[in-house]
Chains A and B, each alone.
Chain A
Amino acid sequence: MIVQRFMGRHGTAQLMAGIAVGIAAAIIVPDVPGIGDGLGLRTVTVALIYSLAGVAAAVLYGRLGLVSIMQVALVAVGGWATLRLHYLTGLPFEVVMVLAAVLTAVIGTVLSLPALRLSGLSLAIVTLMIAGALEVITQYFGFPNGGHGFAGYDTTGVAQTMPRPWLGHSDPAFFRYVVVVVLVVMVALWCVLSARPGRTWAAIRQGDAGAIASGINVTAYRILALAVTSAVTGLAGALLAANSGVLDPISFKAQQSVLLFATVLIGGAFSLFGAVIAGLLFYAFPQLLTSWGVNGNLVFVVLGLGTVQAITTTPTGIAGQLGGLWQVVRRRLSKKSEAHR
């Protein structure tokens, strides 16, 4: 059952295993030949950053049943806020990152307010339209590059780039920096999902009537979910901005949000681990195809087929399948050890 697997993913043992894998990845990956140098490491870093946007979409869909197709647009909002606040205040990156997350939470929530009473296809279309609108806005204003005025965009002078945080100047150091941020966010989300908000969101996903009868203010908790997930997405934008120092509007097209949601379904919308797989599928997989000399647009075909397969046969996604596989292996191992005794 989907639900059993969903809750299984959130056990303490799984969380500890996830943290251990994250720490091991932070130590090992930068030294792995072929991945740990140059383009490979930068690709994995960006994929990890996008896993934050993926986990936001996964929480909205897996916990509340809300289909939000504007996560990549909110990444752009987070990136824009980070660059603008950096050039405006000169504060340390960590402070700017938190402020950008708060700003994205406010903007994401306000943008979603008209959609609060919607669900399913209607909500998907409305959020996609918002993503389209944000795409137009970022293309019009551009991303701040040290210029003056509200937009902070200078087309005449020499564009500046935002420096990386002092703890993550080199590529390996920045990769580790991102791993730490992703782990902190995942643990924080796990705590939220295991506590009252998580229980309440589960009730809302089951049905508004039952939730209201239990005394739940459905609107307030939907707003809370939108704020939390928008903040997490804003963090992704901040890390992306820090990664390259500049951002290009072409990276944040509305269709990217559709692609991210598809990868979340394939990776597994009912688990935090699924979001990491989604990030890799969303960003690293197209890069892998390109490195093999395959047309990058083929990713739409592959992910389209993957989405159909996930929806029809494996709603828990790759993460759910891996979880199921692990359970089978464990059962067999325990049977063997009992037989030896």
Chain B
Amino acid sequence: MTQLSISGLTVRYGGVTPLDSVSLCFDSGVCGVIGPNGAGKTTMFNVLSGFSVPAAGSVELDGRQLLRVAPHRRARLGVRRSFQQEQVIRTLTVRENVLLAAEHSGAPAASVERALTYVGLEDAHRKGSELTVLERRLVEIARCVVGTPRLVLLDEPAAGLDPEESAHLLELITGIPDEVDALVLLVDHDMDLVRAACKEVAVLDFGRLIAFGRTRDVLASAQVRRAYLGVTEDAE
């Protein structure tokens, strides 16, 4: 079981504060981070994966301070992530893409085949440039689950997918904790996906945490519906 504790996390870029004293605690399963554009969701992922340095706060993964670890070393600690703009390497084959992640995160080569089988990309000889949007998303997930990940950060994995593809993705995302025993944090605007995949969800608005709890309860909260879903009480 993986535990992630975020405490007083604050990020400032000049006069802008994309994350403002956010404190959260996630443990195992699939959890969601939602909010309108500019709420600070990707900034939180950037801090967790080391691309942004916070002005204040701390992050502990299974009791270990994460912020002191260099970004590229976090992959060895089991922190994996995907990007809104997927980062599949076009010049490499599917297998090489996953092998690269395995090599640099200290995972055995055998885990590459397991990851490819998990996402259903056994035909791994095609180049990244030849893949469909869904296949690229699958490669990103395969890179995230190769070896022994502990924290998987998925940033809008369903962007650009049709409902059928999203359903396939949902199956894979919800299966990750059982497959590799990792905590999955999911950022997505597809509320059906979030509702179906996440047992808990945190809602950010203008960098502040406005709600956190069981998905059904949070999505039913009037404050969340007003801030994110755009539903007013009058409309109801």
**Contact yes or no, A200 B100, CB < 8 A:** yes
Which residues of chain B are near A210, meaning CB under 8 Å? Answer: 83, 87-89
Count, A-B residue pairs, CB within 8 A: 75
Which residues of chain A are near B104, meaning CB under 8 Å? Answer: 200, 214-216
**Contact yes or no, A199 B100, CB < 8 A:** yes
Residues of B within 8 A of A (CB): 49-51, 71-76, 80-81, 83, 87-92, 96, 99-101, 103-106, 127-130, 143
Measured CB to CB, the nearest residue on chain A to B107 is A215
Of B51, B73, B81, B99, which is within 8 A of A199 by CB?
A: B99
Which residues of chain A are near B83, meaning CB under 8 Å? Answer: 209-210, 213
- Chain A at the B interface: mostly helix, strand, loop or mixed? helix
**Contact yes or no, A4 B127, CB < 8 A:** yes
Measured CB to CB, the nearest residue on chain A to B105 is A215
Extra 9 A-B pairs, beta carbons < 8 Å, given A6-B91, A203-B89:
A196-B100, A199-B100, A206-B89, A206-B90, A214-B75, A214-B101, A214-B104, A214-B105, A216-B100
A205 to B143, alpha carbons, bound, how many Å?
A: 18
Judge if A124 is at the interface, Cβ distance under 8 Å.
no
Judge if A202 is at the interface, Cβ distance under 8 Å.
yes
Which residues of chain A are near B100, meaning CB under 8 Å? Answer: 196, 199-200, 203, 214, 216
Which residues of chain A are near B71, meaning CB under 8 Å? Answer: 212-213
Which residues of chain B are near A205, meaning CB under 8 Å? Answer: 91
Which residues of chain B are near A217, meaning CB under 8 Å? Answer: 72
The 3 closest A-B pairs by CB, nearest first: A210-B87, A215-B75, A215-B104
- Could you pull out 24 A-B pairs where Cβ atoms are within 8 angstroms? A1-B90, A6-B91, A196-B103, A199-B89, A199-B92, A199-B96, A200-B100, A203-B92, A206-B91, A209-B51, A210-B88, A210-B89, A212-B49, A213-B71, A213-B80, A213-B87, A214-B101, A214-B104, A214-B105, A214-B143, A215-B75, A216-B104, A217-B72, A218-B72
A6 to B127, alpha carbons, bound, how many Å?
A: 11
Encoded as 1 (CB less than 8 Å from any B CB) or 0, chain A from 180 to 207 comes to 0000000000000000100110110111
**Contact yes or no, A215 B72, CB < 8 A:** yes
Measured CB to CB, the nearest residue on chain A to B100 is A199
Which residues of chain A are near B143, meaning CB under 8 Å? Answer: 214
